[in-house]
Amino acid sequence: MKYDKILLEHGGGGLLSHELVTGKFLPLFRNEWLERLEDGAVFEIGGTRFCLSTDSYVVQPLFFPGGDIGSLAVHGTVNDIAMCGGDPLFLCAGFILEEGFPMADLERIIRSMSEAADLSGVRIITGDTKVVARGSADGLFINTAGIGIIRYVHSISVASIREGDVVIVSGTIGDHAAAIMSIREGLGLETGLLSDSAPLGGLVKAILDASPHIHCMRDPTRGGLGAILAEIAQQSGLEIIIDERPIPVRDAVKGVCEILGLDPLFLANEGKLVVFCPEGEGGRVLTAMQNHAYGRDAAIIGKVQGHVTRGRLVVNTMIGGSREVDLPTGELVPRIC
Amino acid sequence: MKYDKILLEHGGGGLLSHELVTGKFLPLFRNEWLERLEDGAVFEIGGTRFCLSTDSYVVQPLFFPGGDIGSLAVHGTVNDIAMCGGDPLFLCAGFILEEGFPMADLERIIRSMSEAADLSGVRIITGDTKVVARGSADGLFINTAGIGIIRYVHSISVASIREGDVVIVSGTIGDHAAAIMSIREGLGLETGLLSDSAPLGGLVKAILDASPHIHCMRDPTRGGLGAILAEIAQQSGLEIIIDERPIPVRDAVKGVCEILGLDPLFLANEGKLVVFCPEGEGGRVLTAMQNHAYGRDAAIIGKVQGHVTRGRLVVNTMIGGSREVDLPTGELVPRIC
């Protein structure tokens, strides 16, 4: 790798994140589970399939419209488990606190985690707290890891995606990042934007009940829908074609993007998912999603064209052109989750 | 709770850590698993018992004699699982990196984690990387969480401790903290001290093979042997009496303690454990421990006297006196793990 120091972009969910994972972590930790590079790792014990997932949360500010670091830390890991088709059961939580952090804020965050856990149907059953001196951390970082049971027979994985699959997104994109950015830039109250942070286990259940044959699911967090689809295209060696027109984007998000020069396609979401399902089941899955509170604005946005020499994502733009979209190389919005 | 801000002592493994956990986390997250306040949480799925545990690592310096933050992050979580009688199987790892962190150091740490995982018989199967701006974290923090299977029938827990139990420590105490402190204070090379950081799964297996009836195991990390025994006494409502004389302490550790005014009883260990076992099995367990590489200096150091109005730890000192030992209130050695 060509970098001798860690850059912000190594944590951005784009090209440098990908290079760090595949260039450093994967070669040294290599094993059949990690190799799949999914949101969680799936393993089997005594005939039962489990999913294990982890994420650290460093979002700033800690409290934002529509959520806080506590609910985000629960939803984020619960969603990663749900993306593997798992029912999230148990979480553990690790806190790194900066000396001087207000106890009242900590209590508010713990309360928010507790409520999010209740809503998500998981229990936080063990944890750890570390404190570092003033200046050695920025307030509070939370790690959550979680375990779920996978009850579906079919493998929900990038490896399962096939030519002809339709691509469905569960709702408006960019809400989370736009809400955070509007607060940071002082646009907060005017836009009225809320983070979409939400637990997706129920929506996933609705999808799998409608079609247990879906091929792959992902929640487009860091790097947004664009990065996640570009990565899937790369991993699978498939050409994925999406249309910009049907992708739901709130007017307020468009507004923030115009002001700040951002593209909603690369903005983080914390309560959305994208599904790849067999062509014949697209309609049924779409209806099931639209009937769920967290999928009301779901839309079919593209399809899988087939195998190509080098997997790629092609976006048909609003104005009728088409462009190839790569993993983003810059860090659009740091500390978004 | 009487503090309105987080103090370093809230992460020290002593009284304030205990108050934070029982006063804030427990009431809001309350559930049957967390309530037990063990090193890991034990749950059952389909007739199989599992243990889930997590720890964040913030040790400074990142590289120290006898280990580094990478091996420590693997051993620490593996040991917490082993203390529940679990065979550690899978870990996940979350990295929080400061912008500008040297890539070569990261690579060295990943390599060390990989070697420690091989040695411990676990696989690191999923992970996460976040990067924060320069000044928002101190180099690198690692969280590991892990899952293990518990194959033993008897419950290994504070709740299982009985009057008459003998207390055995697996070897010299204070090595880890003394090694770190001697480096920080510039005494490093002279003392020749090494951290005892090691995976304890094999030693635990030897113990359980010798006596599947042992009652409780703990690894005395933050707060040391003194804090862990005081906490167990408090939790169980039992009086625990230990003798200072048989507790193994290296001369170099005694030396560092004299220079820095520390008590080995409260110094962190990262490759030691303390066992509570039925009186009649003490000899057998001790021999099994002494026959294992990580238990060669094991010694019987005390016994459980019985129920009292308020559980307490009594230490019979070298010079023939006795003192009651409470959870330490100050932070002896910050960022030790």
Parallel/antiparallel/unpaired status of strands A299-307 and A140-150: unpaired
In this prediction, residue A42 has a pLDDT band, given cuts at 50, 70 and 90, of very high
Rounded Cα distance between A281 and A300, Å, is: 12
pLDDT at A286: 98
Smallest Cβ–Cβ distance between B8 and the set A111, A133, A135 belongs to: A133
Nearest to B127 by CA among A46, A34, A264: A34
The Cα of A252 is separated from the nearest Cα of chain B by a number of Å equal to 28
Q: What is the DSSP letter of B327?
A: P
Per CB-CB distance under 8 Å, the chain A contacts of B33 are 90, 123, 125-126
Average pLDDT over residues A287-310: 96
Q: State yes or no: pLDDT of A48 exceeds 60.
A: yes
pLDDT at B38: 84
> Interior CA angle at B85 toward B80 and B88, to 5°?
60
pLDDT at A191: 78
For B34-64, b where at least 16 C-beta lie within 10 A, e where not — what string? Answer: bebbbbbbbbeeeeebbbbbbbbbbbbebeb
Q: Does A1 sit within 8 Å of B58, measured CB to CB? A: no
In chain B, the residue whose alpha carbon lies closest to the alpha carbon of A92 is: B54
Per CB-CB distance under 8 Å, the chain B contacts of A112 are none
A96 forms beta bridges with: A130, A141
Smallest Cβ–Cβ distance between B132 and the set A58, A99, A113 belongs to: A58
Q: Does A20 sit within 8 Å of B94, measured CB to CB? A: no
Q: Does B135 sit within 8 Å of A41, measured CB to CB? A: no
Rg (CA), chain B: 19
pLDDT at B201: 96
Rounded Cα distance between A86 and A150, Å, is: 4
pLDDT tens per residue across all 337 residues of chain B: 579 999 999 998 899 999 999 999 999 999 999 988 888 999 999 889 999 999 999 999 999 999 999 999 999 999 999 999 999 999 999 999 999 999 999 999 999 999 999 999 999 999 999 999 999 999 999 999 999 999 988 889 999 999 999 999 999 999 999 999 999 888 766 778 999 999 999 999 999 999 999 999 999 999 999 999 999 999 999 999 999 999 999 999 999 999 999 999 999 999 999 999 999 999 999 999 999 999 999 999 999 998 888 999 999 998 899 999 999 887 668 899 9
* Chain A interface, best mutation among B1, B2, B6, by max A CB count within 10 A: B6
Cβ-contact B131, A10 below 8 angstroms: yes
Dig out the tokens for B298 from the structure.
């094991």
Q: State yes or no: pLDDT of A1 exceeds 70.
A: no
Rg (CA), chain A: 19
Q: Does A6 sit within 8 Å of B41, measured CB to CB? A: no
Q: State yes or no: pLDDT of A330 exceeds 80.
A: no
> Interior CA angle at A224 toward A221 and A230, to 5°?
115
Dig out the tokens for B303 from the structure.
């016994």
* Chain A interface, best mutation among B56, B58, B122, B219, by max A CB count within 10 A: B56
pLDDT at B331: 65
pLDDT at B332: 67
* Chain B interface, best mutation among A103, A114, A331, by max B CB count within 10 A: A103
Among left, alpha and beta (phi > 0; psi -120 to 50; other), residue A248 is beta
Rounded Cα distance between B33 and A126, Å, is: 8
The 3-state DSSP class for residue A145 equals strand
Smallest Cβ–Cβ distance between A11 and the set B117, B130, B335 belongs to: B130
In chain A, the residue whose alpha carbon lies closest to the alpha carbon of B331 is: A131
Smallest Cβ–Cβ distance between B100 and the set A6, A123, A137 belongs to: A6
The Cα of A291 is separated from the nearest Cα of chain B by a number of Å equal to 32
Q: Does A103 sit within 8 Å of B3, measured CB to CB? A: yes
The Cα of A80 is separated from the nearest Cα of chain B by a number of Å equal to 11
In this prediction, residue A253 has a pLDDT band, given cuts at 50, 70 and 90, of very high
Question: A16-20, A122-126, B1-5: lowest mean pLDDT where?
Answer: B1-5
Average pLDDT over residues A264-292: 97
Q: Does A124 sit within 8 Å of B52, measured CB to CB? A: no
Question: A159-173, A201-215, B187-201, B221-235: lowest mean pLDDT where?
Answer: B187-201
Per CB-CB distance under 8 Å, the chain A contacts of B53 are 92, 126
Per CB-CB distance under 8 Å, the chain A contacts of B87 are none
Q: State yes or no: pLDDT of A331 exceeds 80.
A: no
The 3-state DSSP class for residue A159 equals helix
Q: Does B45 sit within 8 Å of A6, measured CB to CB? A: no
> Interior CA angle at B173 toward B20 and B200, to 5°?
80
pLDDT at A93: 98
Average pLDDT over residues A281-300: 98
**Average pLDDT value for chain A:** 94
Dig out the tokens for A272 from the structure.
């959305």
Rounded Cα distance between B81 and B96, Å, is: 23
pLDDT at A189: 63
Dig out the tokens for B145 from the structure.
């969480």
Report helix angle A201-210 to A69-83, nearest 10.
20
Model ipTM?
Answer: 0.96
Rounded Cα distance between A161 and A224, Å, is: 20
| B317-320 contacts, C-beta under 8 A, 24 or more apart | B317/B244, B318/B244, B318/B245
